Amino acid sequence: MKYPAPSPSPAANRLAGKIAVVTGASSGIGAAIAEAFAAEGADLVLTYNSDEAGARKTAERITALGSLAEVVQCDLGDLDDIEALFAATAKRFGAADILINNGGMDPEPVALKDMDPKDWARILAVNLTGPAMAAAAFVRQRQDQTGGGRIVTISSVHEDVPRAGTSAYDTSKGGLRMLTRTLALELALDRITVNNILPGMILTPINQEAIDDPVVRREMEDNIPWKRAGQPWEVARMAVYLASDDADYVTGQSFTIDGGLSINLGQGA
């Protein structure tokens, strides 16, 4: 039996007048979030590390929706790049209202005993330190503004579900959960909410090998109680909610979007 994904519901203009920074917006979840925000009325600053063409295609889709888009190169492992990102945001739009910490890296598995310490440091720098410093730069930019703000981090089910050979990646994602919680406490009186999304198997380029191989895809989807992989827009809609006024009383929380995968390990549903 096939289990197709539904279509997204119409946008409701919930982010009209807002400026959102989305890191890692060349493809996949980041691009889907950027487009969903544009459909809801936001203007966007999009970052890429190496895939400039992908980011510019995302920008084209955003402008087709009637919103503005600025494309900025940013290596999240480079603190100077992060500062330059928010300087570029301020120059084009003023202070950002929303930060989507989506960018990161997912390297090939390797046992910790065989890992080059420089690789460990790079993964933690991009996946954990980068989002933390982006949040810090965002908050500094918001300090003189009214109306609070929103920080949404895109993590992974692997902050809860460990895998052999991915200690650096899984550790970085676990750190994002505690970063979310501590920042939520720090920023409550500033009315800046901080929340975290944990996607499971989502049909994005990072999963292309599994998507293209029907046997591998079937094996992976068989572990998901919903019996299908997720679509990027299904993550994007949660990000829209958390970035909107509808989620004004929601902070310090983590939301898993995985069709039940993380609660099914060993259960055989």
Q: Is the distance from CB of 173 to CB of 126 less than 8 angstroms?
A: no
Q: How many CA atoms lie within 13 A of 164 on its CB side?
A: 0
Residue tagged active-site, from 3, 48, 169, 241 = 169
Q: Backbone phi, then psi, for 164, in 5-degree steps? A: -65, 135
- CA proximity to 107, closest of 131, 124, 129: 124
Q: Is the distance from CB of 10 to CB of 213 less than 8 angstroms?
A: no
In the chain, DSSP finds a helix count (H) and a strand count (E) of 9, 7
Q: Estimate the share of the chain in helix, then strand, then coil, as percent rounded to the nearest 5.
A: 50, 15, 40
Tell me the C-alpha distance between 96 and 43, whole Å: 10
Cα 117-122-127 angle, rounded to 5 deg: 130
Q: Is 169 a catalytic residue?
A: yes
Q: How many CA atoms lie within 13 A of 258 on its CB side?
A: 26
Q: Is the distance from CB of 132 to CB of 187 less than 8 angstroms?
A: no
Active site residues: 169
